[in-house]
Amino acid sequence: MSAVLPGSIVNGQPATLGVMGGGQLGRMFVHAAQAMGYYTAVLDPDPASPAGLVSHHHIQTDYLDEQGLAQLMQRCTAITTEFENVPAPALLTLGAHRFVAPAADAVAIAQDRAAEKAHFVKCGVPVAPHAVIETEVQLAAVADDLLPGILKTARLGYDGKGQVRVKTRAELVAAWTEFKQVPCVLEKMLPLKDECSVIVARGRDGQCVHFPVQRNLHREGILAVTEVYEGAVPAALAQQAVAAAVAIANGLQYVGVLCVEFFVLEGGQLVVNEMAPRPHNSGHYTLNACDQSQFELQVRTLTGLPLTQPRQHSAAIMLNVLGDLWGLEGQSPDWDRVLALPGTHLHLYGKLSARKGRKMGHLNITAATPEAARAVALQACAVLAIEPF
């Protein structure tokens, strides 16, 4: 497939890029595609989906609806996804007729923790000691040294959902029963010092580019803060993370934007946690701190445009804006005071209702130095009543 150039006409229609899923990641992809001259189409069943509200076309059907998929194929030259739980069979159907990136097989691996772990091992990337539990025999065979651990459902877990800490065999059995004995992965709990992630973009020709490694802080399983500047992650560790992420992408023959999350252990070792076959929450700072955003690279990989190494021009801190910040009567946070702070960039996702733990937007803080960015970020935390970091 040749490159789909911005502003080009395909079969008498403006070149249209499709996205499966209508959440905030899809919304930011749509904005990036439109800025580059493309039309967009979103398939999402929610009539008020953030991406659907801003796209040229919104196909309001289920992800496996045959008519909806046919409409998406009719309108689009190439199609991507904005979250990993889009059914892989739907992507396989689309991929038989249109260019789809990432491909269904890569998304299917990311949807299954057991398959994901096996891929990491195959790529030579260190993983936490773990065991796959699909049967009572496998449950009984779990090694003693994997406890205490974290039991995670193999599928459909995100933002801390689908996982529970277990200290004893009795707790492990109870947790697996609570999960209705679905396939799970038990991971040994390790002494964590830090968390980080790296976003790579890989083109059809195998070329890879990457953003700086991001230092992350999670609270209750949800990303709270991302810091990206020289020294946020030690240089040697950052090199290891980039090399591991590129190996994972190459091993999948991946095309698209891929985020790989890592744990940093107390001894300084790097252990891969999971991958996301799409742009990532920890990469939102790229919208304001880099000469290309992760969403522009998503457009470039999908359309076959050249990839150039992105450059970070400002120290950056990203604060997630959750529904917890809205008042009981739905009052908005004090954005006036926040936006009076230098280097603040507010991104709200257009969601119509706020609730605890729901990602409503994010705040990027950019500055000439890490110290200045951190000072402003802490001021913003104080205004918004976000726990400081």
The string of pLDDT tens digits covering residues 48-69 is: 999 999 999 999 999 999 999 9
Q: Would 18 be classed as within a structural domain?
A: yes
Whether residue 365 sits in one domain with residue 233: yes
pLDDT tops 70 at residue 32: yes
CA distance 211 to 259: 10
Q: Are residues 199 and 181 in the same domain?
A: no
Statement to judge: residues 166 and 201 lie in one domain: no
Cα dist from 30 to 26, 40, 76, 93, 101, whole Å: 6, 6, 13, 22, 15
Picking from 90-104, 273-287, 290-304, 316-330, which range would have the lowest pLDDT averaged per residue? 316-330
> Is residue 24 one of the residues assigned to a domain?
yes
Q: What is the pLDDT of residue 159?
A: 61
Among 164, 188, 212, the domain-final residue is: 188
Same domain, yes or no: 295 and 228: yes
| CATH code of the domain containing 66 | 3.40.50.20
Q: How much of the chain exceeds pLDDT 70, in percent? A: 99
Tokens standing for 118?
């096996």
Is residue 29 located within the same domain as residue 133?
Answer: no
The rounded distance, in Å, linking the Cα atoms of 102 and 84 is 10
| Closest to 383 (Cα-Cα) out of 363, 368, 367 | 363
Query: Do 342 and 308 share a structural domain?
Result: yes
pLDDT digits (tens, 9 = 90+) for 207-242: 999 999 999 999 998 999 999 999 999 999 999 999
Q: Sign of dihedral through CA atoms 233, 236, 239, 241?
A: negative
Domain that holds residue 182: 129-188
* Domain co-membership, 133 together with 158: yes
Closest listed residue to residue 300, CA positions, set 159, 203, 182, 188:
203
pLDDT at 271: 97
Q: Count of residues for the chain? A: 389
197/241 Cα distance (integer angstroms)? 8
Query: Is the residue at 121 inside a domain?
Result: no
Give me the pLDDT at residue 311, please: 98
Q: Which 8-state DSSP code applies to residue 123?
A: T
Angle, helices 294-303 vs 24-35, to 10°: value is 70
Q: How many CB atoms lie within 10 A of CB 296?
A: 24
Share of the chain above pLDDT 90, in %: 93
Give the C-alpha separation, 21 to 80, whole Å: 9
Q: Which pLDDT score is estimated for 327?
A: 85
Give the gyration radius of the chain's Cα atoms: 21
Whole-angstrom distance, CA of residue 103 vs CA of residue 63 = 16
Instruction: Please count the structural domains in the chain.
Output: 3
Tell me: do 264 and 229 sit in the same domain. yes
Q: What is the pLDDT of residue 389?
A: 97
Give yes or no for residue 320 having a pLDDT over 90.
yes
Average pLDDT on 274-289 reads 98
176 and 261 inside one domain: no
CATH number reported for the structural domain that contains residue 280 in this entry: 3.30.470.20
The mean per-residue pLDDT over the stretch 327-342 comes to: 92
pLDDT of residue 12: 79
The pLDDT of residue 200: 98
What is the SS3 assignment for 42?
strand
- The answer to whether residue 167 scores a pLDDT higher than 70 is yes
Q: How far apart are CA 294 and CA 31, in angstroms?
A: 12
Q: Is residue 273 part of a domain?
A: yes
- Clarify whether residues 87 and 154 are in a common domain: no
Are residue 168 and residue 267 in the same domain, yes or no?
no
Q: How many CB atoms lie within 10 A of CB 66?
A: 11
Same domain, 183 and 205: no
Round the average pLDDT of the chain to a whole number and report it.
96
Look at residue 343 and tell me if it is in a domain: yes
- Which of the four pLDDT bands, split at 50, 70 and 90, describes residue 160? low
**Domain end position, chosen among 100, 118, 152:** 100
Q: Is residue 2 part of a domain?
A: no
Task: Give domain status of residue 106, yes or no.
Answer: no
Angle between helices 113-122 and 235-251 (to 10 degrees): 110
Instruction: Tell me: pLDDT of 158 over 70.
Output: no
Q: The CATH number of the domain where 148 resides is what?
A: 3.30.1490.20
Q: Is residue 224 part of a domain?
A: yes
Q: Classify burial at 290, counting beta carbons within 10 Å of its beta carbon; exposed 0-12, middle 13-18, buried 19 or more.
A: buried
Place of tokens 């040229």: 56
